[in-house]
Amino acid sequence: METDIIVSGFKQSIEMHNLRYKRYLGDGDSSVFMNIRQAYYDNVNSYKLVEKIECKNHAVRCLNKNMRLLLRQTEYPLPQRRSLESKINEIGKYCVYAIEGAKEASSHVGVGMLRVALRNCLEHVYGCHDKCQVYLCKNGTIVVPTKYKKNDKALPKANATSVQYRLLKDTALWKEIEKHLTRLVTLSDSLIHGQTTNRAECFQGHMAKLTQGKRKNVNYRGAYQKKKNQAILASKYGSGWSAPFIKMCEGKSP
């Protein structure tokens, strides 16, 4: 049902708005995208395929989830799993910095450099900086993107000859981690845009709150349209938008 609604919206865009959507921002749900991709496809305009932009938050979250699943697999030695556990947060943060840094420096950082940076994640986190990209790492110190400078700290500087690095390098667990990182590398073409689905999820959260899920029928007398307008205002101006609005109209606080 969700897929049908989205595809219907794409197909009606030319008729309603006289435009064609070239890109679709979404998470890792490939089944939805496969239907959207050919929304404009026909025998005359076979080139009109929709391009997908991957949400960076979902991509990194999926990587972190796979890392934590590896910690439960007892076929890998316990010392190696403990070493990975101590570095999971750094691996995720490094990938976020690599994507956001590539977006901020897009004028001189291309997709190729982002691919190399993501592929070099484990080496950097465990202290080997021979292949680090200049926009992301300088002399072993991570370059924090502007977006995260105020409220975040840089990753700790590691020693290239650390015991953890020698313990994990080229093991079966190391290769398994690299497989999960490879998926992130293959998404570099869309991750370099640094886009997220935060706005859509914020709106959906307000909408679910105002309509009270499926517990209340809001289909009569335009109630659903009113709830939708309230959700739009809440997602744009914050959940407390109503107080200043009422004060502006009534001349006094509610």
Structure confidence by residue, pLDDT tens digits, 123-170? 888 888 888 888 888 887 888 888 887 765 555 555 545 677 777 888
The H-or-E segment that residue 136 falls in is: none
Burial class (CB in 10 A: 0-12, 13-18, 19+), 2: exposed
The pTM of the full predicted model, rounded to 2 decimals, is: 0.78
Supply the Cα-derived Rg of the chain in whole angstroms.
23
The pLDDT tens digits of the residues spanning 76-104 come to: 999 889 988 988 998 999 999 999 988 88
